[in-house]
């Protein structure tokens, strides 16, 4: 394997398959049209996109007809406390509530921290192998971890800084007041590497909806950060928490577009009327939802949320840790899961599901016009063994290579000089 790692010297990636439009039959989309292109890359960006030809030019590599897709983005994961790389372990049988899990974490965190740098890097490599070059990662802020979880995560991210990007959420996993984590949260909120202030089930963990949310809002405003809180609570407290957060975001417009609720399971059990009202308010306040596409006992109303204009982000959340083991690390698998859950089967609907892997970016718009890639775009994309997006989502097609800003991260293709 010959890796490309010279962002400054231009090169051409030949025979890249790109989507060029939809094929219609009686006004129905029945297939995706593609063609082969030569893509010239310079300084980490796409310089030219031309129909594939046989002439020689700059140093070139052969994509051999593989399909290019925008690099995947995992928008909810915990890179800091994974067990990935350690021997297999299912979740603990007796720890079923969040408070049980907090007690368990207080016991195991000191041991986990000893190897958390290496394990975060291993997990990042797993994600990259599936075509992901960016993650929104939560990291624990609690009296047991102190600032070590953040420090170790930053070390791991520094080791992969040329090939992987991340935004960081300071996550008070043991509650703000349930264990006194407010001082630590105030401390890490000042760190420039921290992008979001996190939170956890205000009512069930800290006994109040208003007090923890008010603290979180103030911390985000004071430090110019976004917000991304975990909300597992359903029923009345879940509903009230969502609306209280929306109220506060509307009072602090600088948080609009920068505030997210992770999981937000309450949305999955609301009446149609409550959901319509809540979705409308989420859209108006630009509060997004980050979800792992769960399907146990409930179904998240992605379609209703999207139709109302709410941003829906997806991520693996847990890839083999003490909370869960079903995150595969593969964002295409999340897109496939969404397609199966919501009954997206047609060429068009499957092609739209790619959004769940890329955090919104798709090669063709709804009318089949080319949206991606364009000259000047960052050269961050993957190559898959598929004929189009719809097939990649449906088949969870294998990834043959990943480029991050023009550098190869994983590459199973031979160099052709």
112/379 with CB nearer Zn ion:
112
Contacts of residue 365, Cβ cutoff 8 Å, sequence gap at least 6:
371
* Cα-Cα-Cα-Cα dihedral sign, residues 399, 405, 411, 414: positive
Smallest distance, Å, CB 262 to Zn ion?
A: 6
Which residue's CB is nearer to Zn ion, number 74 or number 391? 74
Residue whose tokens read 């953040």: 150
CB of 169 to Zn ion, least distance (A): 9
Shortest Å distance, C-beta 315 to Zn ion: 8
Stretch that binds Zn ion, among 7-15, 313-321, 388-396, 400-408 (CB under 5 A): 313-321
Q: Least CB distance from residue 78 to Zn ion, whole Å?
A: 6
**The one segment of 155-163, 180-188, 252-260, 315-323 that binds Zn ion by CB under 5 A:** 315-323
Site string for Zn ion, 362-391 (x = CB under 5 A): ------------------------------
Q: Shortest approach of Zn ion to residue 30 CB, angstroms?
A: 39
Do 185 and 172 contact (CB within 8 A), yes or no?
yes
Q: How far is the CB of 95 from Zn ion (least distance, A)?
A: 16
Provide the token pair at 147: 């600032």
Nearest-approach distance from CB 318 to Zn ion, in angstroms: 7
Angstrom distance (rounded) from CA 61 to CA 11: 8
Q: Which is nearer to Zn ion, 206 or 317 (CB)?
A: 317
**Residues in binding contact with Zn ion, number by CB under 5 A:** 1
The residue (of 142 and 317) whose beta carbon lies closer to Zn ion is 317
In the shown chain, the binding pattern of residues 316 to 335 toward Zn ion, with x for contact by CB under 5 A and - for none, equals -x------------------
Residues 312 and 305: beta-carbon distance below 8 Å: yes
Which range of residues in 47-55, 139-147, 249-257, 309-317 is near Zn ion by CB under 5 A?
Answer: 309-317
Kindly tell me which of 317 and 347 has the beta carbon lying closer to Zn ion: 317
Residues that bind Zn ion (CB under 5 A): 317
């Amino acid at each position: 394997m010959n890796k490309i790692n010279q962002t400054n010297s231009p090169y051409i990636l030949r025979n890249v398959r790109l989507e060029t439009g939809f094929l219609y039959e009686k006004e129905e989309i029945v297939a995706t049209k593609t063609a082969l292109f030569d893509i010239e890359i310079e300084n980490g960006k796409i310089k030219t996109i031309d129909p594939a030809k046989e002439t020689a030019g700059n140093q070139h590599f052969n994509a051999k007809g593989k399909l290019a897709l925008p690099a995947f983005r995992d928008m909810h994961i915990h890179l800091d406390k994974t067990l990935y790389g350690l021997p297999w372990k299912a979740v603990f049988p007796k720890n079923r509530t969040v408070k049980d899990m907090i007690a368990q974490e207080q016991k195991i965190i000191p041991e986990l921290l000893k190897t958390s740098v290496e394990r975060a890097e291993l997990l990042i490599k797993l994600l990259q192998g599936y075509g992901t070059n960016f993650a929104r990662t939560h990291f624990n802020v609690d009296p047991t971890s102190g600032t070590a979880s953040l420090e170790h995560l930053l070390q791991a991210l520094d080791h992969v800084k040329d090939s992987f990007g991340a935004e960081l959420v300071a996550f008070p996993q043991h509650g703000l007041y349930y264990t006194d984590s407010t001082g630590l949260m105030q401390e890490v909120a000042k760190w420039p590497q921290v992008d979001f202030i996190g939170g956890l089930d205000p009512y069930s963990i800290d006994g109040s909806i208003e007090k923890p949310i008010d603290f979180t809002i103030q911390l985000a405003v004071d430090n110019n950060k976004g917000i991304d809180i975990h909300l597992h609570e359903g029923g009345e407290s879940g509903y009230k928490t969502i609306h209280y957060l929306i109220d506060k975001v509307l009072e602090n417009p600088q948080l609009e577009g920068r505030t997210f609720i992770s999981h937000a399971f309450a949305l999955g059990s609301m009446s149609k009327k409550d959901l319509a009202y809540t979705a409308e308010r989420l859209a108006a306040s630009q509060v997004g939802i980050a979800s792992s596409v769960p399907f146990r006992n409930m179904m998240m109303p992605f379609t209703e949320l999207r139709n109302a204009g709410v941003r829906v982000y997806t991520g693996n959340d847990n890839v083999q840790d003490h909370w869960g083991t079903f995150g595969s690390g593969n964002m295409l698998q999340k897109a496939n899961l969404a397609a199966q859950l919501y009954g997206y089967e047609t060429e068009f609907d499957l092609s739209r599901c790619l959004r769940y892997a890329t955090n919104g970016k798709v090669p063709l718009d709804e009318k089949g016009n080319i949206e991606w890639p364009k000259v000047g775009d960052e050269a961050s994309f993957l190559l898959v063994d598929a004929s189009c997006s719809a097939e990649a989502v449906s088949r969870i097609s294998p990834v043959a290579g990943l480029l991050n800003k023009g550098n190869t991260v994983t590459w199973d293709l031979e160099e052709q000089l």
